[in-house]
């Protein structure tokens, strides 16, 4: 197993941003060594990652590890992926082909459940 390199240039990030990708509003906030990128839905996350190549993710992961930062990618308030210093890719990530990004299986399942519940609410509202 490959050992995570020790950070050479630890950074601290303080931010609260709201950005727009397409029509989706994405919130970005931090706790110093961890950034949270929060998408309103799995669909918005999927559209935003469109042109992000594996090579680019590997470069981002290396930069985050060097600077001792971790980014959590969230959808519907659930972390579905993490990448960086505190997010080693495990067997599920390697199997799914997302390494070096770590898949958070329970977060992904919870986000899917929330997507389904949202769809049911929309259908109920249409039928009322």
Q: What is the mean pLDDT of the chain?
A: 87
What single string gives the DSSP state of each residue in 23-73? TEEEEEEE-BSEEEEEESSHHHHHHHTTT--HHHHHHHHHHHHHTT-EEEE
Write down the pLDDT at residue 11.
73
pLDDT band at 21 (very low <50, low <70, confident <90, very high): confident
Using the predicted structure, report yes or no on whether residue 3 has a pLDDT greater than 70: no
Query: To which residue do tokens 């997302």 refer?
Result: 98
């Amino acid at each position: 197993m490959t050992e995570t390199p020790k950070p050479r240039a630890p950074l601290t990030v303080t931010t609260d941003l709201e950005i727009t990708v397409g029509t989706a509003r994405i919130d970005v906030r931090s706790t110093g060594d961890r950034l949270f990128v929060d998408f309103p839905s799995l669909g918005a996350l999927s559209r935003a990652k469109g042109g992000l190549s594996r090579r680019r993710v590997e470069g981002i992961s290396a930069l985050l590890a060097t600077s001792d930062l971790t980014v959590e990618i969230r959808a519907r308030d659930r972390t579905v992926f993490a990448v960086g210093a505190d997010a080693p890719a495990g067997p599920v990530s390697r199997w799914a082909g997302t390494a070096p990004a770590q898949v958070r299986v329970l977060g992904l399942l919870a986000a899917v459940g929330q997507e389904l519940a949202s769809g049911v609410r929309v259908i109920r509202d249409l039928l009322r």
